[in-house]
A and B are shown apart, each in its own frame.
Chain A
Amino acid sequence: MGGITLSQVSKRFGTTEVIRPLDLEINDGEFVVFVGPSGCGKSTLLRLIAGLEDVSGGAILIDGNDVSNTPPAKRGLAMVFQSYALYPHMSVRKNIAFPLKMAGMNKAEIAKRVDHAAHILSLTDYLDRRPGQLSGGQRQRVAIGRSIVREPQAFLFDEPLSNLDAALRGNMRLEISELHQNLKTTMIYVTHDQVEAMTMAYKIVVLQNGVIEQVGTPLELYRNPANLFVAGFIGSPSMNFATGLAAEKYDATTIGFRPEHLKLFAEGGDWHGTVGVSERLGSDTFLHVNIDGIGQVTVRSDGDIDIRYGDTVSVTPDPARIHRFDASGVALQ
């Protein structure tokens, strides 16, 4: 079991309030992603759950037990760090075995579990190497291996993929999701990368300035962002916004429309503009169009579109997919 409840949890460093009192419920077996820009407090929140930082207020419950004052070692959680944090003087085998050794497990059982973890993570051939002799992806696997052998109540991942290159990041993302499918253990994953959040999470928690902006499944956040911040943060490329006359037409202070919900016409659409830079990805083309009275918007269009810098085009948003926001940035229903 690994249900985690945060109740009015807050954190101050001196006089700076990094986490304002917040509540959050993480169900057993869920894959939850904390996402937000740097400095939003997502890592601090994870460290509070881990016990590496003390809460300034509120309580953290694991399976109903208040662990706010329990040291990290006794919370039954495992953590994977951004820098991998492997023990450089120990072999891969000893690194993975370390938590079991600390738990006082007998040698035969340790060997069995280490071999099993190494097998799952394809590390069997590297067991006698030192971390310094491994590639970034292998090191990250060792770090994951070290956390799974303990069979923890929950896994905590602190931006585990940000030191890897793009291709490897894609693979590891799949591996971690796969691992979650197999283990069905609660996972809390911190990232600033909304693509990781969207692709891996069962539930996303969007944070900004130490406040939870919205909690929901990836598609809920994509379809019904609660405010301007979430609307702009979730989705890639990000949502376009317009104010003024264009918004007033929809009875809102600001309207938002995603690049994929804009249609291009040679002429006759709602808005007119000139094409700026176009980014061709093969499957799609992202066009940056300067629209009179609105400014630059991104339009997602098909990969083969025949369009050039400086062409004049006409753009119409899908009225059913327009997001409306009031003056304070909150979404209007």
Chain B
Amino acid sequence: MARAVTQQRKIINTVLAWVIGLLIFFPILWTFLTSFKTEATAIADPPVFLFFDWTLENYTEVQNRSDYLKHFTNSVIIAVGSTILGVLIAIPAAWSMAFVPSKRTKDILLWMLSTKMLPAVGVLYPIYLIFIELRLLDSKIGLTIILMLINLPIIVWMLYTYFKEIPNEILEAARMDGATLKSEIFYVLTPMAVPGIASTVLLNVILAWNEAFWTLNLTAAKAAPLTAFIASYSSPEGLFYAKLSAASTMAIAPILIMGWFSQKQLVRGLTFGAVK
């Protein structure tokens, strides 16, 4: 009897997981399908699902109208650059918070997180002015810095939780073994936190890749990443669903593929403390 119930439960859970999974996946699938339709089929009512004349013309046109590779390169530089910069700053910060906490450490962590609660548009004006002043508008360096700053609280928080899992005794052993602070972080702490650092890096590359508010507001042509590339197909010239879908597909494909291959690492990193 008990066995029958578990079996039934299992089936229900599986079906439920598939339904939820498909619901989440559906918009991406729809975008993907639409990118192969003509503009007319794309807005057809009732919508056409699979049986239409597949065409690649949207992709050729998108590539002809705007340089995909340039935007792609910009995205890579900005996402990877801001993540590396952020991790380099966050490792020592998280180290000190995890291993030499002061009375204020918890407050600082919460304060850092609170900056994420501020609507970004609230600081757009001052940051825009600062960027003009520093001649950082539409520059990859400027975007890398601003995305690093925006994601830094998350990077510090994630690394902090991973570092907290590392037994203090091991670091003390390193100190007794004659390691300087630098060697302790370089030879002992960092290698031990690799799974955590890797998932932090992955998650932040994804966040930075998908960031649209700052990239749209602070770039024009030179430093524009893929988010700006997609946006250029929306509103002003009317609705071009098929081309917008083609652009979107091209923009999300790289990060989707990266996420697919690294999902094991991501899950392992995100559950670092739970399953040691």
A residues with CB within 8 A of B: 50-52, 71-73, 77-79, 81-83, 85-89, 98-99, 102-103, 146, 150
Contacts and interface: CB of A to CB of B under 8 A. Distances in A.
Contacts of A51: 175
A89 B175 contact: no
A86 B176 CA distance: 12
Contact of B192 (A52, A79, A88): A88
19 contacts: A52-B172, A72-B172, A72-B176, A73-B175, A73-B177, A73-B180, A78-B176, A81-B169, A83-B169, A85-B167, A87-B170, A87-B173, A87-B174, A89-B194, A98-B177, A99-B177, A99-B178, A103-B178, A146-B177
A327 to B, nearest CB: 43
Interface in B160-185: 167, 169-170, 172-180, 183
Contacts of A71: 175
The 9 closest A-B pairs by CB, nearest first: A85-B173, A99-B177, A102-B178, A85-B169, A73-B178, A79-B176, A89-B191, A72-B175, A85-B170
Contacts of A102: 177-180, 183
Contact of A73 (B169, B179, B188): B179
Given A85-B170, A87-B170, A73 B192 contact: no
B268 to A, nearest CB: 15
Contacts of B180: 73, 102
A145 to B, nearest CB: 12
Given A88-B192, A89-B192, A102-B183, A81 B177 contact: no
Best-surrounded residue of B167, B173, B188 (most CB of chain A within 10 A): B173
Contacts of B191: 89
Contacts of A89: 191-192, 194
A102 B182 CA distance: 11
Given A87-B188, A88-B192, A102-B183, A81 B175 contact: no
Contact of A83 (B167, B175, B178): B167
Nearest to B175: A72
Contacts of A98: 174, 177, 179, 187
A50 B176 contact: yes
B172 A85 contact: yes
A141 B180 CA distance: 25
Contacts of B170: 85-88
Contacts of A103: 178
B103 to A, nearest CB: 11
A141 to B, nearest CB: 15
A73 to B, nearest CB: 4
Best-surrounded residue of B174, B178, B179 (most CB of chain A within 10 A): B178
Nearest to A47: B172
A312 to B, nearest CB: 54
A81 B173 contact: yes
B197 to A, nearest CB: 13
Nearest to B167: A83
B43 to A, nearest CB: 56
Best-surrounded residue of A77, A81, A85, A89 (most CB of chain B within 10 A): A85
Nearest to B173: A85
Interface in B185-209: 187-188, 191-192, 194
Contacts of A50: 176
